[in-house]
C-alpha cells in the first residue's frame, strides 16, 4: 500500500524568526515523511525500517504533545489516539526483534547443552513474533491507518491555522524552545534526583521515559541551538541507553519466568531446560546490575552545572552554582 507523501513547503529547520506554529509544522512534516519513508521496509520485515518508522511515529506524537497549545485541539486529539494505536502495533514486533537479537547473542555464547535446551523457548518467541507481525500488517492495512495518514497529510499541507488558534501559536521559536525544553528538563531532574540504589525498576523506567521526552524536545531544536544541544542530546541518550538496558533485562526475566512456569515437569525430564533458563536469568540479573551501576555513574556527571550550563546558556537561561 502506498500513501502520498506530505508536500514539503519548506525543507528548512527551525530558525530564529519562526513562530511556534511554523516550527511545529516543520517538525511534524519531517517526522511524517520519515514515518512514510520506512513503511514499505516495515511491511517487508526489515527490522531497521520498523525501528525508524516507530521512532518517527513516537516523535510525531511527542511533538504534538510538546506544541499542543499552538495546535487546534480536536484534530490533535484524534491524531494522538491514532499514533498511540500505531505505536502499540509497531512496538510489539520491535520489542520482540530486540529481544530475539539479545537471545541470539546469548545462545551463541552459551554451552552446547543450554543451546539445545532453549530450543522450545526460541520456537515460542519466533511464533509470538510471527503473530505480532501478522497483527501489525493487518493494522497497516486497515481503513483507520489509511484515514490517519490522509488526514495528517492534509493537515500538514494546510499549514498553520490562519488566524492562529491561540496566542501560543505566535510566540517566537526561542520562547517555545525555552518553555518546552525546560519543562521536560525540570521533570527529568526531579525524577532522577529521587532515584536511589534501592529504587524499583518501575521508578527507573519512569525516568527512562522522562529522558526520552527530554531528548526529543532537544532534538526538535537542535539545529537552532547548535553544538550545546548536540552534546547534551548525546549525554541524555547515554542515560537512556543505560536505563534501557535495565528495562530490557527486566522484561527478559519476566518472559523467562512466565515460560518456565508453563513448562510441565514431563516436558523437561532431565531438567536441562530449567537449568538453561536459570543460567539465562542469572545473566540478565548481572546485565541489570551493570546497567544500574552505569546509570548512577552517568547521572552524577549529568546532574551538574558543567553539563547543564551550556544548554541553559544556549536557551538564554542561567544555572545556580
pLDDT in tens, the chain (321 residues): 333 333 333 445 667 777 888 889 999 999 999 999 999 999 998 999 999 999 999 999 999 999 988 888 899 999 999 999 999 999 999 999 999 988 888 877 777 777 778 888 888 899 999 999 999 999 999 999 999 999 999 999 998 877 777 777 788 888 999 999 999 999 999 999 999 999 999 999 999 999 999 999 999 999 889 999 999 999 999 999 999 999 999 999 998 888 888 877 656 777 788 888 888 899 899 999 999 999 999 999 999 999 999 999 999 865 444
Taking a C-beta distance cutoff of 8 angstroms, is the pair 215, 232 a contact?
A: no
Residue 272 near residue 106 (C-beta atoms within 8 A):
no
Rounded CA-CA distance 103/33 in Å is 33
Q: What is the pLDDT of residue 103?
A: 86
pLDDT at position 21: 86
**How many of the other CB atoms lie within 10 Å of CB of 38?**
21
Measured between alpha carbons, how far is 103 from 203 in angstroms, rounded to an integer? Answer: 26
Domains located in the chain, CATH noted: 13-170 (1.40.20.10), 172-321 (1.40.20.10)
- CA distance linking residue 126 with residue 16, whole number of Å: 50
pLDDT of residue 81: 97
pLDDT the model gives residue 43: 96
pLDDT at 155: 94
* Angle, CA of 38, 53 and 43, to the nearest 5°: 55
CB atoms within 10 A of CB 198: 6
The pLDDT score that the predictor gives to residue 5 is 36
How far does Cα 269 stand from its chain's mean position?
42
So what's the pLDDT on residue 319?
47
What's the pLDDT at 4?
A: 37
**For residue 1, with 0-12 CB atoms within 10 Å meaning exposed, 13-18 middle and 19 or more buried, which class applies?**
exposed
Q: Of 200, 297, 303, 282, which is closest to residue 242 (Cα–Cα)?
A: 297
CA distances from 132 to 95, 126, 242, 300 (A): 10, 10, 27, 39
Amino acid at each position: 500500500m502506498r500513501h502520498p507523501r506530505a508536500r514539503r513547503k519548506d525543507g528548512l529547520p527551525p530558525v530564529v524568526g519562526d513562530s511556534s506554529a511554523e516550527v511545529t509544522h516543520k517538525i511534524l512534516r519531517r517526522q511524517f515523511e520519515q514515518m512514510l519513508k520506512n513503511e514499505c521496509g516495515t511491511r517487508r520485515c526489515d527490522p531497521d525500517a520498523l525501528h525508524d518508522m516507530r521512532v518517527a511515529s513516537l516523535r510525531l506524537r511527542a511533538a504534538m504533545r510538546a506544541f499542543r497549545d499552538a495546535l487546534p485541539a480536536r484534530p490533535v486529539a484524534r491524531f494522538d489516539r491514532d499514533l498511540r494505536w500505531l505505536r502499540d502495533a509497531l512496538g510489539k514486533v520491535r520489542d520482540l526483534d530486540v529481544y530475539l537479537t539479545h537471545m541470539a547473542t546469548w545462545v551463541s555464547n552459551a554451552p552446547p547443552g543450554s543451546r539445545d535446551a532453549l530450543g522450545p523457548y526460541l520456537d515460542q518467541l519466533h511464533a509470538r513474533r510471527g503473530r505480532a507481525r501478522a497483527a501489525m500488517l493487518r493494522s497497516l492495512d486497515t481503513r483507520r491507518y489509511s484515514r490517519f495518514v490522509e488526514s495528517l497529510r492534509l493537515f500538514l499541507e494546510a499549514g498553520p491555522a490562519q488566524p492562529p488558534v491561540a496566542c501560543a501559536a505566535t510566540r517566537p521559536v526561542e520562547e517555545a524552545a525555552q518553555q518546552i525544553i525546560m519543562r521536560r528538563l525540570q521533570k527529568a531532574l526531579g525524577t532522577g534526583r529521587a532515584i536511589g540504589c534501592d529504587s524499583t525498576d518501575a521508578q527507573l523506567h519512569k525516568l527512562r521515559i522522562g529522558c526520552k521526552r527530554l531528548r526529543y524536545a532537544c532534538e526538535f531544536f537542535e539545529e537552532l541551538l547548535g553544538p550545546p544541544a548536540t552534546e547534551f542530546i548525546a549525554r541524555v541518550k547515554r542515560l537512556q541507553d543505560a536505563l534501557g538496558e535495565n528495562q530490557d533485562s527486566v522484561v527478559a526475566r519476566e518472559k523467562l519466568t512466565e515460560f518456565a512456569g508453563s513448562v510441565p515437569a514431563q516436558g523437561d525430564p532431565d531438567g536441562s531446560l530449567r537449568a538453561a533458563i536459570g543460567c539465562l536469568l542469572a545473566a540478565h540479573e548481572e546485565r541489570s546490575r551493570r546497567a544500574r551501576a552505569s546509570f548512577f555513574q552517568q547521572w552524577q556527571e549529568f546532574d551538574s552545572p558543567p553539563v547543564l550550563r551550556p544548554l541553559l546558556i544556549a536557551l538564554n537561561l542561567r544555572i545556580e552554582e
